[in-house]
Structure 1
Amino acid sequence: MAAREIVPGVDQLKALTHPVRVRMLGLLRVDGPATATTLATRLGINSGATSYHLRQLAQHGFIEDDESRGNGRERWWKAVHQATVTGESSVPDTPEGHETLDAYLQTVVTIYAQRLQEGIERRSSLPQEWREAFGLNDRVVRVTPAQATELEAQVNELIDGLEHDAVGEAVMFQFHVLPQPGPDQER
């Protein structure tokens, strides 16, 4: 079983500033072990590029060989952790630390936007009950940083509780905590 989470250092985080690597790692975490060929097909890229990115993820401690699978010709990979945790306290308070965190977050946001687009494109083919459950939400409320942190922790706790049930469809929850851009940012 994979460890719960990793708080990557700057060098590890640099390895995750490539969208293909973040997507591969996500697939290995959600769908389980896979070969380079399987991942190449899922991602629509060639197996040589896939193998390169897998080696980079392994070199930085995000994935490892799944020795319980394969037949000697196939190399199976598995995620070492279930989640990557980042934030201001996870990187050194240096220009390099902040730039690396920002580059990683830009990569994650790009992937989130792609996933949302894919969800919208797929929506019409979903069964009625999933079309009704489908939701996008951008509520804005006034809170302090401490309140925002507490709310995020509560939402994550609710989702963690659902993970233990393991029934139904795999559902992605994207939850973002950021100050609303606009003229009142100076308050």
Structure 2
Amino acid sequence: MTASDLPPRHDVELGTAALRVLAHPLRLTVLALLRERGPATATHVADELGINPGAASYHLRRLAAGGLIEEEPDRGTGRERWWRSVHRQSVHDPATATAEQCDTGRAYTQAVAEVAADRLHRAAREVPLLPEDWLRATAYGDFLLRLTPEDTSRMRDEIFEVITRYRDRSGGVPEGTSPVFVQVQAFPAPGTALPPDAGA
């Protein structure tokens, strides 16, 4: 079972400790891998991501310490530990976070943006190989809008409602599905919203 098969109650609101654990792009990538592909060992993670097995094991232990993954019961041996994601999705909303969570959340948000950019880069390399039906269905949009922070929050919430409707649809998984990443990015055009002394 992958994390996407878990029901909505398995979403987790990230606290300060979990935000600190996930304020690292590689850990976010490891967690996403477990959620997308299902349980894996440090060796599997290392092979998939092209990193040292020792580094993979370290990051898996950090994720476990943060309560984000756990050992797969009744699987593996003393030398080979299988890990699985505990939650379907991690949630961090700066609008409802404490001051401490907001500070830690900045590093987490930066890591999320870096991972999303890397995933988009890898997807771009596969565009020439996509089957025609998937090529017609994909979307790579880039829209420049003039919005207030309130407008942006409202638009984000409306988009999330649509995503939730497709994610939580009843009736099981239709035939012909494939894991699809829907990336939502809404941010001020670089250099336009920083306070006057931010570059000093």
Tell me which residue corresponds to 2:135: 131
Tell which deviates more after alignment, 23-32 or 132-141.
132-141
Residues 7, 90 of structure 1: 8 Å contact kept: no
Tell me which residue corresponds to 1:172: 181
Q: Taking every aligned residue pair, what percent have the same amino acid on both sides?
A: 35
1:32-85 Cα offsets, whole Å, 9 max, x none, are 100000000011001000101100000010000001322443210000001000
Q: Which of 6, 14, 26 is equivalent to 1:8?
A: 14
1:97-141 Cα offsets, whole Å, 9 max, x none, are 322111101101001001111111011111122122222112355
Matches within 5 A, 1:101-112: 101-112=105-116
Residues 21, 66 of structure 2: 8 Å contact kept: yes
Residue 64 in 1 paired to residue 70 in 2? yes
CA distance in 2, matches of 1:42, 1:16: 19
CA distance in 2, matches of 1:26, 1:34: 12
Tell which deviates more after alignment, 108-117 or 128-137.
128-137
SS in structure 1 of the partner of residue 74 of structure 2: coil
CA distance in 2, matches of 1:106, 1:184: 16
Alpha-carbon deviation of 1:152?
2.6
Residue 52 in 1 paired to residue 58 in 2? yes
Relative to structure 1, is the Cα distance of residues 163 and 72 closer, same or farther in structure 2, using a 3 angstrom cutoff?
Answer: farther
Tell me which residue corresponds to 1:79: 85
Tell which deviates more after alignment, 54-63 or 135-144.
135-144
CA distance in 2, matches of 1:72, 1:184: 52
SS in structure 2 of the partner of residue 13 of structure 1: helix
The one-letter amino acid paired with 2:142 is D
1:130-182 Cα offsets, whole Å, 9 max, x none, are 12222211235566356325413322233324586423111111122445568
CA distance in 2, matches of 1:91, 1:113: 25
Where structure 1 has 5 or more consecutive residues not aligned to the other structure, the ranges are none
SS in structure 2 of the partner of residue 66 of structure 1: strand
CA distance in 2, matches of 1:146, 1:20: 28
How high is the TM-score relative to the length of structure 2? Answer: 0.80
The one-letter amino acid paired with 1:68 is D
CA distance in 2, matches of 1:146, 1:74: 44
Residues 19, 107 of structure 1: 8 Å contact kept: yes
Residues 148, 177 of structure 1: 8 Å contact kept: no
CA distance in 1, matches of 2:193, 2:20: 33
Relative to structure 1, is the Cα distance of residues 183 and 10 closer, same or farther in structure 2, using a 3 angstrom cutoff?
Answer: closer
The one-letter amino acid paired with 2:116 is Y
Residue 91 in 1 paired to residue 97 in 2? yes
Where structure 2 has 5 or more consecutive residues not aligned to the other structure, the ranges are 195-200
Residues 36, 75 of structure 1: 8 Å contact kept: yes
